[in-house]
Amino acid sequence: MMVNVDPELSLIFPTPLFRRQLPQAEAMNTGLERAILARMQAGSGARMSNVGGWHSAGELLDWPEAEIRALKGEIDRGIQHIWGQSTKTRPPADSARPAPPAAYSAHAWANVNRAGDYNASHVHPGHHLSAVYYVSTGDVVADNPMDGILELRDPRPAAEFLQSPGPLSNGSLLIKPRAGLLLLFPAWLEHFVHPYHGGGQRISIAVNIRIDTR
């Protein structure tokens, strides 16, 4: 895949990242937090990439709460945005026809992290996109800038052999969690969550998406 920057410069193999701070997320997050904590009290959870913390089963998008339906709509908006920008699905520039909407399946789960909990480095095989939504960030430790940070690893491992500034070098993207922040990125992109050391609990929702490419 190639993105043209100007007539003489292109970016090859670009990695898309959808990032949106949801407006009026506070009310939705109150309901999401209530629903997640109620289920945490009722079940033992699962063990996946999480080291410590609580990981719900993967049927969160089937929960009946209105806040879940609202979040599903926002996730769909992000999926359609990324899909609509694909060079394989985007109509020609001179066409008034919009890109056809993506058909997909998705499953999601909740994560609740307390002090010392983190998520080990991982990818999501068999899926096209992954999403993260932050419901609550807990009490952040001000003097620890890496506290609970989401790290997206550079997918060009050989680039680390060249130590130089700018786009030619290897580097990770660090994302500071914020309540109401929605992220979508390719499911093959290696990522992990640094240990959370704050007070209270950090609550997030993760989603795996498989596009129907037939």
Q: Which of 104, 133, 107, 128 is nearest to 48 (CA)?
A: 107
Q: Which of 71, 68, 46 is nearest to 57 (CA)?
A: 46
Q: For residues 59-77, b (16+ Cβ closer than 10 Å) or e, as one string?
A: ebbebebebbebbbebbee
Annotation: CATH topology of 20-91+108-211: Jelly Rolls (2.60.120)
Tokens of 22: 């949801």
- Alpha carbon distances (Å) from 55 to 30, 92, 184, 206: 19, 43, 19, 10
**Kind plus residue range of the DSSP H or E element containing 61:** none
Segments making up each domain of the chain, as ranges: 20-91+108-211
Question: How many other β-carbons are positioned within 10 Å of the β-carbon of residue 192?
Answer: 17
* DSSP per-residue letters across 162-214: S--SSTTS--PEEE---TTEEEEEETTS-EEEPPP-SBS-EEEEEEEEEE---
pLDDT tens track of the chain, all 214 residues?
777 888 898 888 889 999 999 998 999 999 999 999 999 998 767 777 777 889 998 999 999 999 999 999 999 999 999 988 875 555 555 566 766 899 999 999 999 999 999 989 999 999 999 999 999 998 877 788 888 999 999 888 887 777 666 667 777 899 999 999 999 999 999 999 999 998 899 999 999 999 998 7
pTM, to two decimals? 0.89
Whether residue 133 contacts residue 72, with contact meaning beta carbons closer than 8 Å, is answered with: no
Residue 92 has what pLDDT?
Answer: 59
Q: Which of 108, 30, 19 is nearest to 66 (CA)?
A: 30
Q: Which of 41, 31, 98 is nearest to 71 (CA)?
A: 31
